[in-house]
Amino acid sequence: MSVDDLQVTPLGPHHDRAAFTCGEVTLDRYLREQASQDRKRSLARCYVLTRASEPARVVGYYTLSAHSLRLHDLPEDAARGIPYRDVPGVLVGRMALDVREQGRGLGERLLAAAVEHCARLESELGLRVIVVDALSEGAARFYERFGFQRFGSGELRLFLSLRHVLPRT
């Protein structure tokens, strides 16, 4: 199985949710029981990582939803130049990788896909930050390796300024 045949697509009825397990019950349950409901209610969109050779098998997933932050919640350097009290962003509400795929660098691939997705949305919507809620200290450290910053010391909520992702224009 090559990493070259990986693809990210919107969650659909043909995806096998029952076989997915990431080791975190709440994330497994979300994919099986809640993701489609969130889509129907326009609360979040779920995107799945699959292989072209096994298009129904979910390797991993992430969710995106619109988000807004108070300007005063951002560190001064990230808030600089914003004349409004609310800052538009995207929440990566959930991100999970099947236990059979963990330890292969696919978590990084999944996060990169989510960040690239947010960067594409920025060209249409105007977004400033990507926000993640880490489930654990280990997950927070994972996000920090890719440039995410904590909102405060010991916080499990982190953000990435899209100014650090997108080319300056």
**51 falls within a domain:** yes
* CB-based contacts of 60, cutoff 8 Å, min separation 6: 22, 48, 49, 95, 96, 97, 98, 101, 106, 107, 110
Give the rounded percent of residues in the chain with a pLDDT score beyond 70.
94
Question: 86-97 and 129-133 as β-strands: parallel, antiparallel, unpaired?
Answer: parallel
- Provide the token pair at 13: 């009825």
**Length of the chain in terms of residues written:** 169
Report residue 123: phi and psi, to 5°. -70, -20
For the chain, give the longest Cα–Cα distance.
49
> Between 90 and 128, whose confidence is greater?
90
Confidence check: pLDDT of 1 > 50: no
Active site (catalytic) residues: 143
Residue 85 CB neighbours (<10 A): 10
**27 falls within a domain:** yes
Helices (H) and strands (E) in the chain, counts: 5, 7
pLDDT of residue 165: 64
Q: Is 116 helix (H, G, I), strand (E, B) or coil?
A: helix
Report residue 6: phi and psi, to 5°. -75, 145
Q: What is the tally of structural domains in the chain?
A: 1
The reported pTM is 0.89
Over residues 108-117, mean pLDDT: 94
**107 falls within a domain:** yes
Range in 7-11, 20-24, 73-77, 97-101 the model is least confident about: 73-77
Give the rounded percent of residues in the chain with a pLDDT score beyond 90.
70
**62 falls within a domain:** yes
**169 falls within a domain:** no
Confidence check: pLDDT of 7 > 80: yes
**156 falls within a domain:** yes
**68 falls within a domain:** yes
Confidence check: pLDDT of 121 > 60: yes
pLDDT of residue 169: 46
Q: What average pLDDT is seen over the chain?
A: 90
Confidence check: pLDDT of 11 > 90: yes
Centroid of chain to Cα 113: 8
Domain containing residue 60: 3-164
Tell me how far apart the alpha carbons of residues 166 and 24 are, in angstroms, rounded to a whole number: 32
Confidence check: pLDDT of 110 > 50: yes
Reported as a single tens digit per residue, the pLDDT across 56-68 is: 999 999 999 999 8
pLDDT of residue 2: 52
Kindly report the CATH number assigned to the domain that includes residue 59. 3.40.630.30
